[in-house]
Amino acid sequence: MTFDGTRLFDMHNLKVMKGDDGKEELRRILKEASTDLKEGISSINNYYGVPVKLIGKVIDEFLESCDVDPAKYLSFDINKIKVSYGKEFSKDSATFESKNFAEVVLGNNGCIKAKVYFDSSKPSFMVSEDCENFIENKLEFEEKIDNINTLIEEYKEIVDSLKKWLNE
């Protein structure tokens, strides 16, 4: 399914819905899934400490209007954000063992990136001037995270999580 703001394309059921009909159908589908989605992100937060308040806010607002402007969620000190959670295959394992990880990127005049594994693997704390080519530098990462000042609750959660991961 795709939604471009005016049309809902449902390739599985071979239909296209336009305008308000498309928005209402998308809202109906998302409301059905939103409980499971919110429970899922809440359990990721509870189990691994991944910051999820910003994700929850985006989900709520998308359900309201089906129109989300990503720039609206940025903070004064932050002009780029990425929070992801996933699994990847372990490079050190002969079996196809996977590892859970969280990755957080914050940017303003360069970027910082943390990739934290939820097993005994070593986390990575990286910095980049262009937000593309990252190099590991825990000291500079720590310095930059200490200089982020925000009053927005969702960003405070992200910064607090990064500081906690640095000190583990």
Q: How confident is the model at residue 1 (pLDDT cuts 50, 70, 90)?
A: low
Average pLDDT over residues 43-69: 79
DSSP state of 121: S
Per-residue exposure over 126-155, b if at least 16 CB sit within 10 Å of its own CB, e if not: bbbeebeebeeeeeebbebbeebeeebebb
4-45 pLDDT, tens per residue?
667 777 777 677 878 777 777 777 777 777 788 888 888 888
pTM: 0.74
List, for residues 74-94, the tens digit of each pLDDT value. Answer: 776 778 888 888 888 777 666
- The crossing angle, in degrees rounded to 10, of helices 53-65 and 153-166 is 150
